[in-house]
Amino acid sequence: MQKEDIKSINNFQGELETKKLSLLCLLRNTEEIVKRSCDGTLLNDYTCIYQTLSNAVTKDNQLKVFAPQFCFGNQLEHKYIENCFGLVRRGEQPNIIGASESHIYSLPVICNVTELKKIHFCSFSNIRSLFGVCEDKAWILHAISGYEEYIKLYSAKGSDLGYQIPRDNAEQILRATENEIWVKSGEIIKKITVGTTNRTEEIVRMSEFQTATCSVLNDNRIVAYSVEGKCFYEVNIDEDWPVNINELTLKNIPVEEECAGLITAKPLRITETVSKHIIIPCRDKVITLDRNFRVCNVHENRDSSFRDICGDPYGNIFIVDYNRNKICLFNSYGEFLHDVSVQEIFSSPTDITRDSMGNIWLTYGNCVHIYSYL
């Protein structure tokens, strides 16, 4: 919302007018759409403002606004937009909410994720964790007790791409590209650069990480939760590595009683959404926290066992329900939307990830099924 777009808000009607102006000024040209859509910011801002207006408008109080028209799963690039719609400029004929069924579209229509279509199947040995990266590739952490343990890069067709890293006690992949991967190994979080000779660099070491669940956020902070300590740890990793743990780099954030009562077992994964919320699946609950680690939403299903989680750049959050053999769809605010229909889903899915092509990788024991929802 730009300052020049904001009118003085003296009452509720004034607030709606301000939101209307802000909505109209969000989309000015192709360049701005591309710039703001790369991390989902545009979609969330646009949808939030539109929803506020939509909820407030009645037939007697019509406001002219542009409805958000996006396509989940498609990267909004210059070529994609201009091929479909020409050079995108601010529209000249807005929609009238509550007055007409006809719409003038400036961007692709919102497509809800209703089905995952199977596109490939692979069988691997002893999968412990996986993490989708660039194009149609994913790193898979193999853990074979008593044998060689390693992390390897595969394509969505099951091809071994020739990148192999010794596991070295890694428990979980936290961040990855094709050429580097961040892993948690006991009390250490480290970065492994892949090349002719692999290079390992320690990022941070904390004894509290030993039993905690960790996540690397997009703004270069590590968030860890300890069930035993009933506490979040937030570490700033922008400075030199390894990070020197002190009062400037570490925050200890004791959780409220409500939160401690909800997260009663070590979560498999912590995820940050495009709306900057933190979502934690734990047993039969999905807990959503704001950036101050306060509970803002809880979804509970007593028949469920929520395990792994992944998201896309457009606010969709996919969570594995191990007990019900389901993939559940949530929005970026942690609100449950619906179960997603999955072609040929097998019993007890465990891990889930998404590569940058939009493929969903889902594990069942030692099998990986790759799906598409685009």
Higher pLDDT, 73 or 359: 359
CA distance 165 to 192: 8
- 152 — pLDDT class (breaks 50, 70, 90): very high
Kindly state whether residues 305 and 178 are assigned to the same domain: yes
Within-domain flag for 71 = yes
- The whole-number pLDDT of residue 107 equals 38
Kindly state whether residues 29 and 136 are assigned to the same domain: no
Within-domain flag for 107 = no
User: Which of 107-111, 160-164, 220-224, 245-249 comes out lowest in average pLDDT?
Assistant: 107-111
Kindly state whether residues 131 and 231 are assigned to the same domain: yes
pLDDT digits (tens, 9 = 90+) for 53-100: 555 554 455 544 444 444 444 444 445 445 554 444 434 444 444 433
pLDDT digits (tens, 9 = 90+) for 313-353: 778 899 999 999 999 999 888 999 999 999 877 778 999 99
Within-domain flag for 316 = yes
- 9 — pLDDT class (breaks 50, 70, 90): very low
pLDDT digits (tens, 9 = 90+) for 186-195: 999 999 999 8
- The whole-number pLDDT of residue 104 equals 34
pTM metric for this prediction: 0.71
The residue-averaged pLDDT of 186-211 equals 93
Kindly state whether residues 235 and 361 are assigned to the same domain: yes
Residue 225 has pLDDT above 60, yes or no: yes
- The whole-number pLDDT of residue 153 equals 93
The total of structural domains in the chain comes to: 2
- The whole-number pLDDT of residue 219 equals 86
Kindly state whether residues 85 and 229 are assigned to the same domain: no
Kindly state whether residues 240 and 207 are assigned to the same domain: yes
Within-domain flag for 103 = no
Within-domain flag for 104 = no
Within-domain flag for 101 = no
- The whole-number pLDDT of residue 345 equals 76
- The whole-number pLDDT of residue 254 equals 94
- The whole-number pLDDT of residue 53 equals 58
Higher pLDDT, 292 or 112: 292
Query: Residue 182 — φ and ψ, nearest 5°?
Result: -105, 130
The CA–CA distances, whole Å, from 92 to 48, 105, 110, 356 equal: 22, 11, 21, 34
pLDDT digits (tens, 9 = 90+) for 263-318: 999 999 999 998 889 999 999 999 999 989 999 999 999 999 999 999 987 788 99
- The whole-number pLDDT of residue 6 equals 42
CATH number at residue 195: 2.120.10.30
Winning range, highest mean pLDDT, from 1-5, 64-68, 103-107, 236-240? 236-240
Residue 124 has pLDDT above 80, yes or no: yes
Winning range, highest mean pLDDT, from 15-29, 81-95, 225-239, 336-350? 225-239
Kindly state whether residues 45 and 177 are assigned to the same domain: no
Kindly state whether residues 56 and 151 are assigned to the same domain: no
Q: Which domain holds residue 42?
A: 3-96
Kindly state whether residues 165 and 287 are assigned to the same domain: yes
